[in-house]
């Protein structure tokens, strides 16, 4: 299950061009999830990397019970894309 703040979603669409409704679709494919340690947020946050229409996205979320609460979604940068593709390739070798 997923949830988000509609105002945050509208802001994300304006800033990054990605709707959270679309972003949640990355979980229907290969996803890599890592802990977001960029800042202290007062809660555990995670970044999921996955593909949507051939584009690798970085989706920041936190857990609210058993529900993923999406905080932001953007295109992954070059380094993140490389790490994602390497992890997916390594995963398929096992």
- Entry pTM: 0.91
- Segments in 1-94 forming alpha helices (H): 6-16, 20-23, 78-92
pLDDT for the residue numbered 66: 96
Q: How far apart are CA 69 and CA 66, in angstroms?
A: 10
The neighbouring-strand residues paired with 46 are 35, 61
Q: How confident is the model at residue 91 (pLDDT cuts 50, 70, 90)?
A: confident
Q: How far apart are CA 9 and CA 7, in angstroms?
A: 5
What domain range includes position 63? 2-92
Q: In this structure, what CATH number is given to the domain that contains residue 36?
A: 3.10.450.530
Number of domains in the chain: 1
Does the pLDDT at position 88 exceed 80? yes
pLDDT digits (tens, 9 = 90+) for 25-36: 999 999 999 998
């Amino acid at each position: 299950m997923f949830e988000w703040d509609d105002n945050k979603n509208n802001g994300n669409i304006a800033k990054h061009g990605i709707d959270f409704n679309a972003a949640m679709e990355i979980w229907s494919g290969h996803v890599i999830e890592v802990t977001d340690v960029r800042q202290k947020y007062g809660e555990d946050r995670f970044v999921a990397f996955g593909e949507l229409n051939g584009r690798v996205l970085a989706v920041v979320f936190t857990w609210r019970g058993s529900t993923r609460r999406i905080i932001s979604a953007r295109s992954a940068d070059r380094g993140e894309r490389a790490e994602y593709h390497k992890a997916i390739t390594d995963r398929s070798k096992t």
